[in-house]
Chains A and B, each alone.
Chain A
Amino acid sequence: MVSGRSDMPKTPTPKMPKAIKLLIAGGFGVGKTTMVGAVSEIRPLRTEETLTDRSVGVDDLSGVEAKSTTTVAMDFGRISIGDDFMLYLFGTPGQERFWFVWDELARGALGAVVLADTRRLADCFPSVDYFERRGTPFIVAVNCFEGAPMFQLDEVKLALNLGPDVPVLLCDARKRDSGKEVLIALVKHAYSKRPAAVS
């Protein structure tokens, strides 16, 4: 027989970790998924969000077959923090026109890493703008590509017109230790920016 919620046996809900979301943003090809993969305990997975008209009614299936649906793929990884917390790292979709996905990803996110490539610094402007506007704590991590011009971090900060309190650091997105340092810097920064601390 089919049990509804009212007559189902009471099962104790197992203790579950709390999930925390961190974002890795930046321009196309800057190494977002590489960084996710370097620190994740699972191989990066890919999930897809479908852009459809979410107000479509239950019975309104007319035209589904002809509907042009945009699917945005996001790569993500996971780090368990003991039994209490589960950290999810999402690479944001590179095309900034997918704001609906950005908004969903940013909701409840602890903070974001904006990955920058000094050869194409402008590629990370939209991410910086987005997190500034939304008030999401973020740091900038300059991925050191071989052959890329080396800049002083201050120059990068100036070029990106960042506030004095936004940390900028160098990283190698392929290396686990480097990714780990970046995440630690982000969580520390988010901690300093939490509402209780800024008041």
Chain B
Amino acid sequence: MNDWNGDWNPDEERLLDAPTVRPYVIARGRTEAQDRFDLITLAVTIRPTTGAEIGLDPEHQAIVRLCRRPLSVAEIAAHMDLPAGIVRVLLGDLFDRGFVAVQEPQPEVDVLDERMYRAVLDGLRAL
């Protein structure tokens, strides 16, 4: 887990040689879907799994359970302790089979949207 305890060093930046075999197995060696979703693409479950679906692994089921509320790819990855790339592959499966809906992030062109800036500023001021 990526939970922090009291002794964390906030700016510790780690360069890890992670064990890669397990994630690769979970994703069945697939890496091609890795560019499909942004780190902040949000996913939400729209159809619960029954546990009897063919081709859904425990990791898929875990994502379906996690995403009862919208969560970003980065959050799913952190909660599951999996590299973001693997989560993208699994999320792609779930999206293709209609278990989750995804919301792509605000595209750069929409950054023209004045209302968005106003809402964000108001929201930050109210913190």
> A residues near B, CB below 8 A?
2-5, 8-9, 11, 13-14, 16-21, 28-34, 37, 39, 43-50, 52, 54, 56, 58-61, 64-65, 67-76, 78-82, 84-88, 90, 93-95, 104-105, 107-108, 110, 176, 180, 183-184, 187-188, 190-191, 194-196
Contacts and interface: CB of A to CB of B under 8 A. Distances in A.
A79 B11 contact: no
A13 B101 CA distance: 7
B127 A72 contact: no
B44 to A, nearest CB: 6
Contacts of A75: 10
Size category of the binding interface on chain B: 35 or more
A37 B9 CA distance: 12
Given A180-B127, A194-B111, A8 B72 contact: no
A79 B72 CA distance: 12
A14 B85 CA distance: 25
Given A2-B55, A20-B106, 6 more contacts: A14-B46, A46-B78, A69-B20, A86-B42, A88-B39, A191-B114
Interface of B: 2-4, 10-11, 13-18, 20-21, 23-24, 29-32, 34-35, 38-42, 44, 46-47, 53-55, 70, 72, 74-75, 77-79, 83-85, 96-98, 101, 103, 105-108, 111-112, 114, 116-117, 119-125, 127
A104 B11 contact: no
